[in-house]
Structure 1
């Protein structure tokens, strides 16, 4: 996948900045851009959709970009770039300590933003493997989608994370606790039923017959296994 086909989330409470960033990135060829103006909006988008990179402001009406990054890091290692008017070097250090990949101080040149994003994406997403082929579909981790019966079925952020953990451990048993910890973070107690609900949704997308799965198997009392030839 080309860098400019990646899915980007842009978070800023200033509508003028949102418009400028979106327009400048669209002009140079970025085609999948989603916008958020608050912490709440950003977290809702991150819950529903898998992104390849997030551009975060720090000062928000209902929290901070640091809080958004903390939530991202509970389930994802996707790259994050801070775009903020705060030039305090201590704040920049704080962003890097939380797992940010870069930090740009406003005002900024659109070309600098484009080049920084391209650099991060090239580092974070080297050439990937081909599609993962199952009997009834193909998993495209690059696009966070399932290719099935001539259709492209999008994966939610949680579905993507579950499948990625299972695929990284393909043909091995991944325990319930391991999956919960990887996808929901350390405070995963109480999410057991949510995990089962997401597994059902993933099966509906990847299996020919979800009620009789041949790839995403439940190992009774232990966890799940993704069987890949």
Structure 2
């Protein structure tokens, strides 16, 4: 199965207050049926009134965690995308609050791979985060130092690396 096959035709809500981020996502996810939202209110209205297979939510500029709560209520797979809120602590928060992944905007060019990992996990009945560590641990090592997991050892010791 080709990498893009799982995303083909999926309806995604992409939410960010930065037009260039939305444009980049639109280019990268051209195989999907995309709906863009530039603000919290626009995204909230869409989430509450339309069906989506997935939502990509900016954290900072559009109250991403509140949108995550709405997405969870509507059973929409939600991915957190961030630059300014990027931290191991917010990664843990995203996991605990029900996000399917937490992706740094610096890694946005790999969004197709990350989303396919999530859809593959769904098909196989695995934890959505099953490949997150493999894909992003080295990025976190570089960004935050090799001890970035020390802030919440209990969480990371139980993290579903290979589930």
Shorter-chain TM-score category? Answer: 0.5 to 0.7
8 Å contact from structure 1 (residues 3, 122) kept in 2:
no
**TM-score calculated relative to the size of structure 1:** 0.49
* Rg larger for: 1
SS in structure 1 opposite 2:29? helix
Q: Which has the higher strand share?
A: 1
SS in structure 1 opposite 2:8? helix
The offset of 1:96, in angstroms, is 0.8
- Aligned pair count reads 119
8 Å contact from structure 1 (residues 18, 35) kept in 2:
yes
8 Å contact from structure 2 (residues 47, 74) kept in 1:
no
Q: Deviations over 1:49-77 (max 9, x none)?
A: 100011010012xx51000011222232x
8 Å contact from structure 1 (residues 10, 56) kept in 2:
yes
Q: Deviations over 1:54-107 (max 9, x none)?
A: 1010012xx51000011222232x321111002211111111111011111122
- Using the alignment, how far apart are the partners of 2:81 and 2:104 within structure 1? 6
**Could you say what the CA RMSD is over the residues aligned between the two structures, in angstroms?**
1.7
8 Å contact from structure 2 (residues 28, 111) kept in 1:
no
Q: Which runs of 4+ in 1 moved over 4 A?
A: none
The offset of 1:116, in angstroms, is 0.6
Q: Which residue of 2 aligns with 1:17?
A: 21
Q: Which residue of 2 aligns with 1:205?
A: none
Flag the structure with more relative contact order, 1 or 2, with Cα contacts below 8 A and sequence separation at least 6.
Answer: 2
Structure 1, unaligned stretches of length 5 or more? 127-229
Q: Which residue of 1 aligns with 2:119?
A: 121
Q: Deviations over 1:4-39 (max 9, x none)?
A: 11111100000010111111211xx22x00001111
**TM-score calculated relative to the size of structure 2:** 0.67
Taking the TM superposition and a 5 Å limit, the aligned residue runs for 1:6-45 are: 6-26=10-30, 29-30=31-32, 32-45=33-46
The offset of 1:114, in angstroms, is 0.5
- Pair 1:59–1:109, CA change in 2 (3 A): closer
